[in-house]
């Protein structure tokens, strides 16, 4: 796709599980399984799914914080060599991550000045140039330069998340991966942080991957949505079309679980839990919880039918 700022093909991330006295790897958690996605310039792509479906692993893989088992990756049309530290160092000048928890993601022993300047100093910038950039970025995230000599514990959750956003912007990336960035914040602060992200997106010409489990926030904030289950994409498409007419049974279940103001229509919670699949599993990964499953859903792996913008992985929707 010509205007894609991110192009991921068949990303797999496996976490090794070790056991025994010699810590042998005897199994893997396949947290992301052959997932492909693209992000267009200026777009906000939401990634949604229940806890444990692989959203944070996907986010970390996109910025090189977790190793890729397999897959290919391009940023702005340039290939990232996912096995090379040097390639990741240059990729992080284009793509940065903001973390879920503003309390644990900032080193409590570093001042804001140290936190913000570090990525520039490791790239050979002078202390003066790094501080000048820090002043500029702090203004953009709505904080004064007085915070530079303070430490993370001196701030509220919302202020810490602004510092997390400032840190992500220090290398002037054009893509931000936001992993549940408002879920640890009070509702009123959540709205302020979302507003700030949207303003920054416009003023700095950013594109965003926006990970969330909150469908209401996704509806208000994102352009397109990718629904994940057990490390795979179940459905993707414009927020409007996916929420108005969800094709995949899992998307429908997620939408039915949203509380509404209508008391005659209480939320329906999807039964069962996300359970890891055995290695020899064949069929649709959602089959054990799917209210619409048929025998054929257990007999072969289900392909994702997508044009890169919208698509669905369900036997009942196959064209
Ligand atoms: N460091 C890790 N080691 C082993 N398993 C992990 C690790 N991190 C996550 N997992 C597992 O990978 C799966 C996906 O987790 P995660 O990406 O955190 O999902 P989400 O962000 O959607 O809640 C889960 O089964 C989780 O237990
Ligand atoms: S393929 Fe079958 S089990 Fe999977 S979502 Fe579709 S109907 Fe349900
Ligand atoms: Mg997560």
For residue 310, the model assigns a pLDDT of: 94
For residue 209, the model assigns a pLDDT of: 98
CA of 249 to the centre of ligand 2 (A): 7
Do 305 and 181 share a structural domain?
yes
Q: Which of 172, 201, 223 is the last residue of a domain?
A: 172
Do 252 and 302 share a structural domain?
yes
- Is residue 46 in some structural domain? yes
- Is residue 131 in some structural domain? yes
For residue 319, the model assigns a pLDDT of: 56
Q: Which of 137, 172, 207 is the last residue of a domain?
A: 172
Q: Which residues line ligand 2 (CB under 6 A)?
A: 248-249, 284, 286-287, 290, 292-293, 297, 302, 314-316
Q: How far, in Å, CA of 101 to CA of 34, rounded?
A: 27
Instruction: Find the CATH number of the domain harbouring 191.
Output: 3.40.50.300
Do 84 and 222 share a structural domain?
yes
pLDDT digits (tens, 9 = 90+) for 184-198: 899 889 999 999 999
For residue 66, the model assigns a pLDDT of: 98
Residue nearest to atom 4 of ligand 1 (CA): 15
Count the domains in the chain. 2
Q: How far, in Å, CA of 35 to CA of 20, rounded?
A: 32
For residue 260, the model assigns a pLDDT of: 74
Q: How far, in Å, CA of 54 to CA of 74, rounded?
A: 21
Do 113 and 81 share a structural domain?
no
- Is residue 99 in some structural domain? no
Specify the ligand 1 atom closest to the Cα of 274.
25
- Is residue 245 in some structural domain? yes
Do 209 and 111 share a structural domain?
no
Q: Which residues line ligand 1 (CB under 6 A)?
A: 15, 29, 31, 49, 51-57
Q: In what order do the strands lie in the sheet with 44-48?
A: 95-98, 175-179, 207-211, 44-48, 224-229, 232-238, 311-312, 305-306
Q: What is the pTM of this model?
A: 0.95
Ranges of the chain whose pLDDT falls below 70: 1-2, 318-319
- Is residue 100 in some structural domain? no
Residue nearest to atom 1 of ligand 1 (CA): 15
CA of 273 to the centre of ligand 3 (A): 16
CA of 291 to the centre of ligand 3 (A): 26
Q: Which domain holds residue 81?
A: 4-94+173-317
Q: How far, in Å, CA of 85 to CA of 121, rounded?
A: 18
- Is residue 181 in some structural domain? yes
CA of 100 to the centre of ligand 3 (A): 8
Do 180 and 165 share a structural domain?
no
Do 147 and 186 share a structural domain?
no
Q: Which residues of 223-232 are buried (b: 16+ CB within 10 A; e: fewer)?
A: bbbbbbbbbb
- Which among 14, 29, 67 is the best mutation to test ligand 1's pocket, defined by most ligand atoms within 8 Å of the CB? 29
Do 201 and 56 share a structural domain?
yes
Do 272 and 199 share a structural domain?
yes
Residue by residue, DSSP assigns 136-149 as HHHHHTT--GGGGG
Specify the ligand 1 atom closest to the Cα of 211.
21
Do 11 and 85 share a structural domain?
yes
- Which among 250, 315, 318 is the best mutation to test ligand 2's pocket, defined by most ligand atoms within 8 Å of the CB? 315
For residue 1, the model assigns a pLDDT of: 62
Do 160 and 50 share a structural domain?
no
Residues ≥6 apart with Cβ < 8 Å to 4: 38, 39, 40, 41, 74, 77
Tokens of 37: 């996605």
- Is residue 101 in some structural domain? no
- Which among 31, 59, 183 is the best mutation to test ligand 1's pocket, defined by most ligand atoms within 8 Å of the CB? 31
CA of 2 to the centre of ligand 3 (A): 30
Q: What is the DSSP letter of 40?
A: E
Backbone angles phi, psi at 109, to 5 degrees: -90, -5
Do 305 and 251 share a structural domain?
yes
- Is residue 144 in some structural domain? yes
CA of 12 to the centre of ligand 2 (A): 22
Residue nearest to atom 7 of ligand 2 (CA): 293
Q: Which of 172, 189, 204 is the last residue of a domain?
A: 172
């Amino acid at each position: 796709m010509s205007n894609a700022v991110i192009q991921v093909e068949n990303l797999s991330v496996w976490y090794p599980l070790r056991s025994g006295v010699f810590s042998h790897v005897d199994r893997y958690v396949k947290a992301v399984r052959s997932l492909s996605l693209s992000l267009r310039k200026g777009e906000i792509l939401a990634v949604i799914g229940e806890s444990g479906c692989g959203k944070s692993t996907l986010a970390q893989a996109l910025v090189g914080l977790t190793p890729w088992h397999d897959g290919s990756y391009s940023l702005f049309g340039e290939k990232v060599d996912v096995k090379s530290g040097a390639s990741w160092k240059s990729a992080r000048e284009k793509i940065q991550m903001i973390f879920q928890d503003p309390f644990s993601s900032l080193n409590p022993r570093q001042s804001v000045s140290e936190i913000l300047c570090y990525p520039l100093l490791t790239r050979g910038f002078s202390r003066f140039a790094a501080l000048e950039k820090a002043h500029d970025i702090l203004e953009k995230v709505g904080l004064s330069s007085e915070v530079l000599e303070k430490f993370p514990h001196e701030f509220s959750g919302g202020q810490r998340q602004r510092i997390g956003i400032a840190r992500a912007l220090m290398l002037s990336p054009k893509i931000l991966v936001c992993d549940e960035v408002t879920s640890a914040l009070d509702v009123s602060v959540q709205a302020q942080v979302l507003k700030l992200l949207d303003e920054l997106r416009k003023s700095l010409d950013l594109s965003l991957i926006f990970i969330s489990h909150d469908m209401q926030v996704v509806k208000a904030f994102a352009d397109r949505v990718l629904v994940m289950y057990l490390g795979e994409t179940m459905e993707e498409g414009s927020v409007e079309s996916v929420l108005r007419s969800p094709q995949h049974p899992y998307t429908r279940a997620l939408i039915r679980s949203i509380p509404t103001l209508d008391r005659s229509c209480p939320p329906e919670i999807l039964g069962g839990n996300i359970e890891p699949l055995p290695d020899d599993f064949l069929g649709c990964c959602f089959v054990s919880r799917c209210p619409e499953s048929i025998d054929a859903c257990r007999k072969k792996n289900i392909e994702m039918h997508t044009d890169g913008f919208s698509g669905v992985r369900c036997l009942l929707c196959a064209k």
